Amino acid sequence: MKEKKINIVGMNCHHCVIAVENELKELGIDLLDVKIGSADIKYDETKISDDDIAKAIDEAGFKLVN
């Protein structure tokens, strides 16, 4: 399992946090902490790619920042 902090642009409220949490959970990511603008995540990098994570964030209506 890989642990990683991701930065997310466009989040500005608690509802944004919930939207991101839901998309990442659906992808199979263990959430360690999601805040406005970032998330600490844990996932199996053999099953989930960085592109998968970026797409999930995009589906929630936000953008992943490298």
Six token digits for residue 5: 């902090």
Q: What is the pLDDT of residue 59?
A: 95
Distance CA 43, CA 56 (A): 13
The pLDDT of residue 34: 95
Q: Does domain 2-65 have CATH number 3.40.190.10?
A: no
In angstroms, the CA 65 to CA 26 distance is 20
Tokens of 34: 């999601």
The string of pLDDT tens digits covering residues 5-63 is 999 999 999 999 999 999 999 999 998 999 999 999 999 999 999 999 999 999 999 99
Q: What is this structure's pTM?
A: 0.90
Phi, psi at 44, each rounded to 5°: -90, 105
pLDDT reported for residue 66: 75
